[in-house]
Chains A and B, each alone.
Chain A
Amino acid sequence: MKTIADHVLDIAQNSVNANAKCVELFFLENDDDFFIKIKDNGCGIDKDKLSKVFDPFFTTHEKIRRVGLGLPFLKQNAELTGGYVHVSSQPQEGTILEAKLFKMVDCPPVGDLKGTFATLVTSSPNVSWKICRCLKNKCYDFSSEVIKGADLTSPSVIKAIFEYFKSMEYALR
């Protein structure tokens, strides 16, 4: 993964795959660090599997591939900066991921967050997203309620959502 935005896109899709109905995503950026929190109400992870989520050779998709690299990659990049990734979960209730990355020479660039958010909110019609993005003291919120019922496979709708996040990100800077 070249950017933090790529990590967020990758990790947040775990929530979609866990059949979450609602995913809350916080992306807070300050002068010195990034804080990411992803909270879902998906199927959760039992204790046994939770201890293996950072093992690159552990996956629940054995039929397709033998590796699960998403979380290990994020952990590696976060720890390189002196940060961390924590995952806590209750089976049948959901999962919470928290990650911190410090801005220093080994920290990946933030990358294309607008594209990440637009891709996530159009990834599945079954998931309701709540996104909170802050850059220092400026923030914006997004809730899937505003696009509820829209055809998320329509190119013009997806394009509009990309444009929306583009303008939101632009306003922060």
Chain B
Amino acid sequence: MKIKNLEELQRIKEESLKNLNGRESKKRGRVVVGMGTCGISAGAKDTLRAIVDEMEKQSIDDVAVIQSGCMGLCEVEPTVEVQIGDEEPVIYGHVNEKQARRIVKEHVVKGNVLREILVKRGKI
């Protein structure tokens, strides 16, 4: 997908509005990227982009991607929290672009928790 001008961006917006009005507005989960000073300096922007890119590649649009501030886990930034359905939230640390794509492919798609980069389970 290449967005070259404002018209194309507006078209994406219209499509998104249509989806919002339909049943698709119900999300089955969320992925939260920590975007505080600590996260940004550790590369959270690239993490966010990798997550969005991989989710688009996998045609996932029923999981919300949300940015948050500092969650108090500055030492393991970039951090990503994944919560699918009623499951307990899972927080991953040191999430670079490669790990971000793995989180989407393994956790968001298949429901497998990635133990080696797991920092915490449950709400902060």
Q: Is the interface of A mostly helix, strand, loop or mixed?
A: helix
CB-CB contacts of B57-76 with A at 8 A, as 1s and 0s? 00011011111011110100
Query: Which listed segment binds B: A5-13, A18-26, A95-103?
Result: A5-13
Q: Is A123 at the interface (CB under 8 A from chain B)?
A: yes
In the complex, what residues of A have CB within 8 A of residue B8's CB?
A: 160, 164
**Prevailing SS type, chain B contact patch:** helix
User: Are the CB atoms of B13 and A147 closer together than 8 Å?
Assistant: yes
Say whether A167 contacts B12, CB under 8 Å.
Answer: no
Docked-complex contact B6 and A146, CB < 8 angstroms: yes
- In the complex, the answer to whether B40 meets A17 with C-beta atoms within 8 Å is no
Does A81 sit within 8 A of B, measured CB to CB? no
Q: Is the CB of B45 within 8 A of A70?
A: no
In angstroms, Cα B2 to Cα A163, docked, is: 6
One digit per residue, 1 when the CB lies within 8 angstroms of any chain A CB and 0 when it does not, for chain B 5-36 equals 11011101101110110000101001000011
CB neighbours (8 Å) of B4 from chain A are 167
Kindly list chain A residues whose C-beta atoms are within 8 Å of the C-beta of B64: 153-154
B70: A residues at CB distance < 8 A: 61, 64-65
Are A73 and B35 neighbours in the complex by a CB distance under 8 Å?
no
A153 near B55: Cβ-Cβ < 8 Å? no
A123 touches B35 (CB 8 A): yes
- A-B interface pairs (CB < 8 A), number: 121
Q: Is the CB of A122 within 8 A of B2?
A: no
Q: Which residues of B are found within 8 Å of A124, using beta-carbon distances? A: 67
A155 to B55, CA, bound (A): 6
Contact B9 A161 (CB under 8 A): yes
CA distance A161 to B10 in the complex (A): 10
The closest CB in chain A to the CB of B51 belongs to: A155
Q: State which residues 55-71 of A face B: CB under 8 Å.
A: 61, 64-65, 68-70
Question: In the complex the two chains form, is B30's CB within 8 Å of A153's CB?
Answer: yes
Tell me, yes or no, whether B100 is within 8 Å of chain A by CB.
no
Q: In chain B, what residue has the closest Cβ to A161?
A: B9
Contact in complex: B35, A119 (CB < 8 Å)? yes
User: Does A83 sit within 8 A of B, measured CB to CB?
Assistant: no
* B49 located at the interface, meaning its Cβ lies under 8 Å from any Cβ of chain A in the complex: yes
Question: Do A159 and B53 contact each other (CB < 8 Å), given the known contacts A13-B69, A64-B71, A146-B6?
Answer: yes
Give 7 A-B contacts (CB < 8 Å), ordered by A residue.
A1-B41, A13-B35, A119-B45, A151-B17, A154-B64, A157-B13, A159-B52
A residues in contact (CB < 8 Å) with B? 1-2, 6, 9-10, 13, 17, 61, 64-65, 68-70, 73, 112, 115-116, 118-119, 122-124, 146-151, 153-164, 166-167
